[in-house]
Amino acid sequence: MKAHLPGLRVRTADGRPVARDGIVICFFLHRSHGEIAPEIWRALQTYLRAIPPQVLRWYPDPNGDWQPLDDKGWEHIREKMLERRGRPACGVDLEEHCDDTGGYNFEYEGLRLDAPLFRDKDATCAVAFTLPTEYLVEHGPSHVRALTLELARELPFSFGYASFALVAPRGQWFANYRAARELRDRYSGLDVYRLGETSRHIGTRARGAYWLTFIGPPLLGQVGGLEVLRRLPSSDVSLEALPPLEGERVLVTLDEWPEAIDMEQHERPSPQLLSLAQLLEPFLHEERSNWFTFLGNDTEDMHRWTRRFCP
C-alpha cells in the first residue's frame, strides 16, 4: 500500500524557500576523516549514479560564495576530500540550487577526531544524502531502500537512518524556525536535522527510530544484537545483515513506505516503530541545544521530540 506523504515547504518572510519535503539518508561514523575519506567519496559516486545527471550544480567556497559544480569544481571537491586528509576538518556541501532548496543535496562533516579543536570524545564524522519525495514516488520504496543499502555497505557507521524529512541543507530551515517547528509538531514521522550540530557530540549513540534504521558497533551489541531485534512485532519488519567491516551491522526496515504520521488526522505510529524506539531509548543521543528556538537553551523541548515514540 502506498503511503501518503504531504508536500511541504518552509519559506522566509519574503517568500524564499528554505526547506521542502523529501527523504534524508544519514550516517554517523565515529572515525576520523582521514580514515574514511575514500569510502565517503565512493558513496558519493554511488549517489551521483542514482540521481539525474548534473543535478548537483553548486557548492559554497570558503568565503561562502556560490561556485558552479563544473569540472573545475569537481576537481576542487575531490582534492579537498581525498588529498587534504590531514586537516582538522573537511566540510562539503553540494546542492541542486544556490537560491532555493532543492531535493538533491549532499552534506559531509568530516573531522580529524584527534585534533585539539575537537576534544569531545563524542565527535563524529557524518554524511547525508537527500532525495525529493517525487523520486521516491517515481522509483518506489524498494529502489530507495536498495540505494540506501548500497550507500551503507562500505561505510563503517555506528548509526544511520533514512526517513521522510524536512530537507534543508546546512539546516537552513532555521531562517523560519517557527514554521519548521509547526511542521515538526504536526508530522511526528518527519525528521528535522542539523547534521553539523548533531555530529559534534552524538558519539556511537542512536538518533531515533526510523523507516530504515542502520545499527552498527558498538550500538548493536548494546541493544542485544540480532536476537533482540528479531523480537520486534509485525510481519512488516525485516532485518538485513551487512558485510562486517569492524563488527556486525544491520538494517532494520519497519515498513514498505516511510510515513509522515499526521497528528491532525489522528494518525498513530506503527507498533513496530514504537517497539524499536523503546529498544533504542536507553541509547538515544541528547542534543545540547534546542534548534527550534534558534539554538536556545531550553533543551526539554528537544528531549521530548527526540523521544516522541518512547513510552
pLDDT in tens, the chain (311 residues): 456 899 999 999 888 899 999 999 999 999 999 999 999 999 999 999 999 999 999 999 888 899 999 999 999 999 999 988 778 889 999 999 887 889 999 999 999 888 766 567 899 999 999 999 999 999 999 999 999 999 999 899 999 999 999 999 988 888 898 999 999 999 999 999 999 999 999 999 999 999 999 999 999 999 999 999 999 988 889 999 998 777 789 999 999 999 999 999 999 999 999 999 999 999 999 988 787 776 566 778 889 999 999 98
List all residues 6 or more positions away from 240 whose beta carbon is below 8 Å from its beta carbon. 149, 250, 251, 253
Q: pTM for the full model? A: 0.95
pLDDT at residue number 1: 45
Map grid coordinates 524556525 to a residue.
Answer: 177
Instruction: Give the residue from 159, 163, 124, 167 showing the smallest Cα distance to 269.
Output: 163
List all residues 6 or more positions away from 209 whose beta carbon is below 8 Å from its beta carbon. 254, 273, 276, 277, 280, 309
**Residue 301 in 3-state DSSP?**
helix
Spatial separation of the C-alpha atoms in residues 149 and 115, rounded to whole Å: 31
- C-alpha to C-alpha distances, 52 to 55, 57, 104, 221, 244, nearest whole angstrom: 6, 11, 9, 38, 31
pLDDT at residue number 68: 96
Angle between helices 141-152 and 33-50 (to 10 degrees): 150
Spatial separation of the C-alpha atoms in residues 191 and 213, rounded to whole Å: 13
* Contact between residue 102 and residue 95 where contact means Cβ atoms under 8 Å apart: yes
Spatial separation of the C-alpha atoms in residues 249 and 153, rounded to whole Å: 9
pLDDT at residue number 160: 98
- C-alpha to C-alpha distances, 223 to 276, 277, 311, nearest whole angstrom: 10, 11, 17
What are the sequence ranges of the domains in the chain?
20-306
Spatial separation of the C-alpha atoms in residues 278 and 299, rounded to whole Å: 21
List all residues 6 or more positions away from 74 whose beta carbon is below 8 Å from its beta carbon. none
- C-alpha to C-alpha distances, 183 to 133, 224, 291, nearest whole angstrom: 16, 34, 14
Q: Each residue of 289-305: pLDDT tens digit?
A: 787 776 566 778 889 99
pLDDT at residue number 2: 59
